[in-house]
Amino acid sequence: MTEDSRDTLLPLPEHVAIIMDGNGRWAKSQGLERVDGHRVGAGSVRAVLEESRRLGIRYVTLYAFSTENWKRPEEEVVALMSLFIKHLEQELPLFLENDIRLRAIGDLERLPSEVRISLQDKIERTKHCESLDLLLAVSYGSRNELTRAFRSLSKRIEQGKLSASELTEEMITDSLDTAGIPDPDLLIRTSSEFRISNFLLWQLAYSEIVVTDVHWPDFREEELNNCIDRYRRRKRRFGGLEEVEHV
């Protein structure tokens, strides 16, 4: 990993994935409750979407709630679920004005039905939009996603529709919740932790990782642009010797 001064910069990332972390730490630093951090963090989602659209980023994936986050205290989980519903309703005009198509990835069956219904409704109402695809990772865990994909592929093998020796990487890619979406070029994690936390394990194979110490509620246009600038100074080789702009 090198972020050096160079004449040629990478093009803008086509797909940016973000682990939106640090809401609780931000709230603590302000003398507020954790849920206040989640509330202010929703404003960062709006800012990032508007800026991504302005820049011309084609895909944005936001990690909003992990399969492991279900083990948080019930009070916090309930507060997060009602925030999801509130903001899905509130941000529909933002999606439509910015030509943003919503898609959800994760173990959606586990979500309360009100969240599922609201998600489904916004997915339906934005399906004609085509400037930016927003993939919202809710109740998402990469191991869960891979397990579901392997189950569906095994079923096809059991039914004699596919033979094990014919299984390809592409078939696995196409069985994931992210089917049809190119892998993220850039993964941003806010709030300083250097870990993946069960996010897009398959899809991040060659993504550039940028960690910022800014907590998610403070992550607005300026910090998004800082992270993109850091990405653009990287060299991507994908295992080869030459620099490559995209796979």
Residue numbers at the binding site for ligand IPE (CB under 6 A):
19-25, 63-66, 68-69, 80, 191, 193, 195, 197, 216
Among 4, 7, 21, 144, the one annotated catalytic: 21
Q: Is 204 buried (19+), middle (13-18) or exposed (0-12) by CB count in 10 A?
A: middle
DSSP strands (E only) in the chain: 15-19, 59-66, 100-105, 132-140, 186-189, 208-211
Rounded to whole angstroms, the Cα distance separating 135 from 16 reads 10
Shortest-Cβ-distance residue relative to Mg ion: 21
Rounded to whole angstroms, the Cα distance separating 117 from 113 reads 6
Rounded to whole angstroms, the Cα distance separating 29 from 41 reads 14
- Compute the least distance from the CB of residue 213 to Mg ion, in Å: 13
Counting residues that bind Mg ion (by CB under 5 A) gives: 1
Question: Which partner from the list ligand IPE, Mg ion, none does 19 bind, CB cut-off 5 to 8 Å by kind?
Answer: ligand IPE
Among 7, 36, 69, 213, the one annotated catalytic: 69
37 touches Mg ion by CB under 5 A: no
- Compute the least distance from the CB of residue 193 to Mg ion, in Å: 7
Instruction: Give the relative orientation of helices 221-232 and 34-55 as an angle to the nearest 10 degrees.
Output: 60
- Compute the least distance from the CB of residue 183 to ligand IPE, in Å: 19
Choices 20-28, 69-77, 103-111, 122-130 (CB under 5 A): range interacting with Mg ion? 20-28
36 forms beta bridges with none
21 touches Mg ion by CB under 5 A: yes
Question: Which partner from the list ligand IPE, Mg ion, none does 88 bind, CB cut-off 5 to 8 Å by kind?
Answer: none
Does the annotation count 21 as an active-site position?
yes
CB 78 within 8 Å of CB 112: no
Q: Which residues of the shown chain bind Mg ion in the complex (CB under 5 A)?
A: 21
